[in-house]
Amino acid sequence: MTELLHTAHTSELDPAVRQEIRAFLDAAFDNDFSDDDWDHTLGGVHAWVRDTRGIAAHGSVIQRRVLHRGRSLRVGYVEAVAVRSDRRRQGLGGRVMDALERVIGTAYRVGALSASDEGAALYAARGWQVWPGAIAALGPDGVVALPEEEGTTYLWPGTSGLPAVSDALVFDWREGDVL
């Protein structure tokens, strides 16, 4: 196999590699990857696959807090999963997710992500489950319902199983797209 899988915390990324990842994500998301999206990608563990042409796939997992039934859960939140267009459907996204799920399984109560239509099949095939309940965020003025995120938010059991579907998942607030 000529593709090498790399993992590193954001703090361990050489500035040139960090810049290369950002450029890859800009291209992979057709220049619809904002500075807020980039900010959401940082601060956790990155996994990326490199081939002879450069980065072929990337994803990261960062820590977020989710309120559920009066508890604050530490969640491994998956961000910026992308595969270069000429390498799609070749298992590279799965290799990136393997690495990120290992991090979630050893460091977090549960995994979460917001899936695009294109990515949903990958996550479902790996055992990620659509959260069937309400989604909200704790904003500057209180809890804000996010009905547009319902049906696209997936959870992975991590270290202690999925939360009971009884109350909304209330994510921490952040600039840009909250989820």
CB 106 within 8 A of CB 74: no
Q: Would you give per-residue pLDDT tens digits along the chain (179 residues)?
A: 568 999 999 999 999 999 999 999 999 999 999 999 999 999 999 999 999 999 999 999 999 999 998 889 999 999 999 999 999 999 999 999 999 999 999 999 899 999 998 889 999 999 999 999 999 999 999 999 999 999 899 999 766 666 667 788 999 999 888 87
Instruction: Give the three-class secondary structure for 5.
Output: strand
What does the alpha-carbon distance between residue 173 and residue 34 come to, in Å, rounded to a whole number? 17
pLDDT of residue 159: 61
Q: Which CATH number fits domain 4-172: 3.40.50.2000, 3.60.15.10, 3.50.50.60, 3.40.630.30?
A: 3.40.630.30
Domain boundaries, the chain: 4-172
pTM: 0.93
